[in-house]
Structure 1
Amino acid sequence: MTEQVADDHDVRGTGPVLLVLPGGAGHPMGLEELTGRLAERFTVVTYDPLGLAHGRLGRPVGEQRVRAWSDGAHRVLAGVVPRGGQAYVFGTSSGGVAALDLLARHPEGLRHVVAHEPPVVEVLPDAAGQRAMFQEVYAAYRAAGLDAAGARLGAGLEERAPGPLPGGDPLSPEEEAASPFALFLAHVLVPFTGYAPDVGALRALSGRLTLGAGAGSKGQLPHRTAAAAARLCGAGLAEFPGGHLGAVEHPAEFAGLLTEVLLRTGR
């Protein structure tokens, strides 16, 4: 098994290239078992767009843009995929948003893309209300810190009334820079949930796209959004083990189904 580390991505395993785009602020924490199992069948390239696992955690971070993540992913693939070759792509949550943008704008060389519960709420009829909810999460983070934001986000994803939020203090810039979750809340959550996928481009590429939804997310916003995106884009919908964090919570089962979906659809 080969293992390589660059300043914003890791490469391990052998076989067809599979680019993995983590969620949150792009830090691959928690995905080690998943990528290890996938590396038994694929050359797994795990992209870390902010370099948080590559020595940059603790440095200031600015507002993130979906386009910047997908352009970075395209650059990484260009460096690891042989000329004329093709790659598979798996993205989850915010990484799933970047995966959709990557396929829409850089489809050349992509064999199949699985976007697991990307929070592209612009595809929903109640998009305005969901954007407002994510703004409330951001406001809770700025006013009272991680616990308050986490409580509001959890209620929003489960589509239930939030109730009273826990108290707390805002994080200092140094504390924020040292926390991947804080960086996600501060610089990724609002711009990524406000992203509108290019449905026309994705529909034209629907044979190369599968939306993933967690079995544990049924009746919740992430599952509803994934299903709506699949319908609009004419893409397949696959149900994966667990909920929104199924890739972390059920890595063996998740890796097995992901491998099956990629190899079946990517032939």
Structure 2
Amino acid sequence: MTAETHTLSTDGAEITYDVRPGDGPTLLLIGSPMDAGGFATLASHFPDRKVVTYDPRGISRSKLTGGQTTSTPEQHADDLSRLIDTVGDGPVDVFASSGGAVNGLALVTAHPEQVRTLVAHEPPALPVLPDRENALAAVQGIYDLYQKSGAGPAMVKFILSTSVKGEIPAGWIDQPGPSPEDFGMSSQDDGSRDDILLSQNLISCTHYEPDFAKLRAAATRIVVGVGEESKDELAHRAGEGVAAGLGVEPVTFPSHHGGFLGGEFGQMGDPDNFAAKLREVLEAK
């Protein structure tokens, strides 16, 4: 499928998106802070569908135009709503990964009529966790460390937080750990504070509280996915918490948090089996 690239002006952003033509129902693939490039492999498994990918506001080709340096799930949801209107053929099916899954929940909350099925894969909405106070404090600590010491030390803590098995202990952010050099990064602070993950979306995404009453009342069919290999990890547990809030059972997908990746960003999941599971879920009645 050859993608056609377009732009769309929204409130405070210039959004770039790609459309791969197909005769079947429109499938929107969204991530955050991951851009459209992360869905190249997954999109190739749906040649029968019109597949739409995009770069979220402030990421890669999509630029912020309103002077803001942070973005909220509600703003991302408004961008997505306008994108769906522009592409047409609604309501659409949506596969949403990670922060994109949080934005997908915000989209359905505000515009349920635009989404037929939302597959929200491991949304890191930490307020749903039983250890929410410790988890939110850990993320706030990562943000504060970034503001104080730069990307290297903060990214190490972020990577470690995503792989903690089970509940986050109190004071986790202050526990000693490896250095940035152990992860191939520098400890030197270059003075910049514009990292998309650590600055623009980190707090607003992870602190998002789903409106379960509105989500349960929506006509949209909402499926919550969790990774087979990511059990007990932070985003997996949050996915289970979102599913519980919706009153549904989570659906297990092959591989890990990025199980659909086929080498994008140097990461490999199980894209063939992941795509097959996604197709099964989308086509279920």
The alpha carbon displacement at 1:35 in A equals 1.6
Change (3 A) 1:229 1:50: same
Show the counterpart of 2:271. Answer: 251
Show the counterpart of 1:78. Answer: 85
**Identity of matched residues, %:** 32
Q: Does 1:221 align with 2:229?
A: no
Q: Which letter maps to 2:101?
A: G
- 1:136-167 Cα offsets, whole Å, 9 max, x none, are 22123233333322321222222266532425
Larger displacement relative to structure 2 (72-81 or 27-36)? 27-36
TM-score (norm 1): 0.86
More relative contact order, 1 or 2 (CA 8 Å, 6+ apart): 1
Q: Does 1:137 align with 2:142?
A: yes
Show the counterpart of 1:104. Answer: 109
- 1:201-244 Cα offsets, whole Å, 9 max, x none, are 11223860001101111021111111111011123411112221
Q: Which letter maps to 1:78?
A: D
Show the counterpart of 1:125. Answer: 130
From 12, 30, 44, the counterpart of 1:21: 30
Show the counterpart of 1:209. Answer: 222
Count matched residues: 254
TM-score (norm 2): 0.81
Q: Which secondary structure does the structure 1 equivalent of 2:18 belong to?
A: strand
Distance 2:225 2:2 in 1: 29
The alpha carbon displacement at 1:117 in A equals 0.5
Q: Which secondary structure does the structure 2 equivalent of 1:6 belong to?
A: strand
Show the counterpart of 1:231. Answer: 244
Distance 2:190 2:20 in 1: 36
CA contact (8 A) 2:57 2:63 kept: yes
Q: Unaligned stretches of 5+ in structure 2?
A: 8-15, 166-171, 181-186, 262-268
Change (3 A) 1:96 1:55: closer
Distance 1:143 1:253 in 2: 42
From 167, 173, 176, the counterpart of 1:163: 176
Q: Which secondary structure does the structure 2 equivalent of 1:232 belong to?
A: helix
CA contact (8 A) 1:94 1:118 kept: yes
Distance 1:147 1:206 in 2: 44
The CA RMSD over aligned residues, in Å, is 2.3
Change (3 A) 1:51 1:2: farther
Q: Which secondary structure does the structure 2 equivalent of 1:30 belong to?
A: helix
Where is the helix percentage greater, Structure 1 or Structure 2? 1
Q: Which letter maps to 1:189?
A: L
Distance 1:55 1:77 in 2: 16
Q: Which secondary structure does the structure 1 equivalent of 2:277 belong to?
A: helix
CA contact (8 A) 1:206 1:234 kept: no
The alpha carbon displacement at 1:52 in A equals 3.5
From 57, 69, 78, the counterpart of 1:62: 69
Distance 1:18 1:171 in 2: 40
The alpha carbon displacement at 1:169 in A equals 2.5
Larger displacement relative to structure 2 (195-204 or 143-152)? 143-152
Task: Kindly report structure 1 stretches of 4+ aligned residues shifted beyond 4 Å.
Answer: none
CA contact (8 A) 1:117 1:213 kept: yes
Q: Does 1:35 align with 2:48?
A: no
Q: Which secondary structure does the structure 2 equivalent of 1:164 belong to?
A: coil
Distance 1:242 1:104 in 2: 29
